[in-house]
């Protein structure tokens, strides 16, 4: 019996989650906190409200997650220079290092899963998946809008583990 696309996507998602799990543990992060860290890394100076809206979490969950990241030294909360009433979020040096490391994982996992495929086959696979995504809002890649030096640091040594 032929398997469904959902079957393969579910297996790949599980494999990626497992791939990241140990690496996240070593950093002291959870899968859930990773997405908060990635967003703030891409959008330094964002507000907790913006973060909650984009992540799709309620304000209480976002507040608790941000607090954990602040307590663990990955993120800071400071008053906005433009609007003293607003609080902005930024990564600390430790947070930026985790951001770069996590970005590398995406590329490392992709290299692992596409090992044995030609560059043309990888491009074809991505093209077919993008076609299957028609009508589904496409979020930006976690690293796509990262500042230039961060993107370079992530891609440098991309496939080294």
23 within some domain: yes
State which residues form the domain around 135. 5-155
Q: pLDDT of 69-89, one tens digit each?
A: 999 999 999 987 888 888 899
161 within some domain: no
13 within some domain: yes
149 within some domain: yes
63 within some domain: yes
Strands 75-79 and 87-91 come out as antiparallel
Count of domains forming the chain: 1
DSSP bridge partners of 75:
91
Q: What is the pTM of this model?
A: 0.74
Q: What is the CATH number of the domain that holds 56?
A: 1.10.10.10
Q: Using CA atoms, how far apart are residues 16 and 10, in angstroms rounded to an integer? A: 10
160 within some domain: no
Q: pLDDT of 100-159, one tens digit each?
A: 999 899 899 999 999 999 999 999 999 999 999 888 876 555 444 444 444 444 444 444
């Amino acid at each position: 019996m032929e398997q469904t696309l959902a079957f393969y996507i579910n297996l790949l998602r599980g494999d990626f989650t497992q791939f990241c799990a140990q690496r996240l543990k070593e950093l002291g992060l959870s899968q859930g906190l990773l997405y908060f860290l990635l967003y703030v890394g891409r959008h330094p100076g964002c507000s907790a409200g913006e973060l909650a809206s984009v992540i799709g979490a309620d304000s209480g969950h976002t507040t608790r997650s941000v607090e954990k990241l602040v307590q663990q030294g990955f993120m800071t909360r400071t008053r906005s220079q433009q609007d003293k009433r607003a609080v902005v979020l930024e990564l600390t040096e430790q947070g930026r290092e985790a951001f770069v490391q996590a970005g590398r994982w995406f590329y490392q996992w992709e290299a692992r899963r596409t090992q044995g495929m030609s560059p043309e086959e990888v491009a074809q696979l991505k093209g077919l998946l993008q076609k299957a995504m028609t009508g589904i809002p496409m979020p930006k890649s976690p690293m796509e809008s990262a500042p230039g030096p961060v993107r370079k640091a992530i891609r440098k040594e991309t496939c080294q583990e």
